[in-house]
Amino acid sequence: MTDIADLPRTVGRLENDVASIYDMLTGVQATLADHGRRFDGITTILADHDRRFDSITTILADHDRRFDSITTILADHDRRFDEHDRRFDKIDETLAEILRRLPEAS
């Protein structure tokens, strides 16, 4: 147990300890405030990136629509080329038949 004579010295030490704790808390509070400001800055940067990604997403969606349109056009051209191939095949068959029926040149 503490002696009554040591009581003022013990109280003084406790007061110093309390003052030290308050100084440490002030430092922690300043650090927390700094971290808060930094997080706010990061939040602003992330919001800017989010807007940019939204813009990129819109651009990519537009490109996707355009590619779909081009794909449709190319599919139509492919169908038309298939029709032309069939017509040329018929013409080849007709010409082959005509050549078969022609008399041989002497």
Asked whether residue 30 is domain-assigned, the answer is: yes
Asked whether residue 31 is domain-assigned, the answer is: yes
Are the C-beta atoms of 10 and 2 separated by less than 8 Å?
yes
Look at residue 106 and tell me whether its pLDDT is greater than 80.
no
- For residue 63, give its domain range: 4-100
Summarize the confidence of residues 43-62 as an average pLDDT: 98
- Higher-pLDDT residue of 104 and 34 is 34
Tens digit of each residue's pLDDT (9 = 90 or more) over 13-46: 999 999 999 999 999 999 999 999 999 999 999 9
d(Cα 90, Cα 81) in Å, to the nearest integer? 14
Residue type, 36: G
Q: CA separation (Å) from 88 to 4, 95, 99, 102?
A: 120, 10, 16, 21
Asked whether residue 106 is domain-assigned, the answer is: no
Asked whether residue 36 is domain-assigned, the answer is: yes
* Tally of domains in the chain: 1
Summarize the confidence of residues 48-70 as an average pLDDT: 98
Other beta carbons within 10 Å of 44: 10
d(Cα 23, Cα 43) in Å, to the nearest integer? 30
pTM over 0.85: no
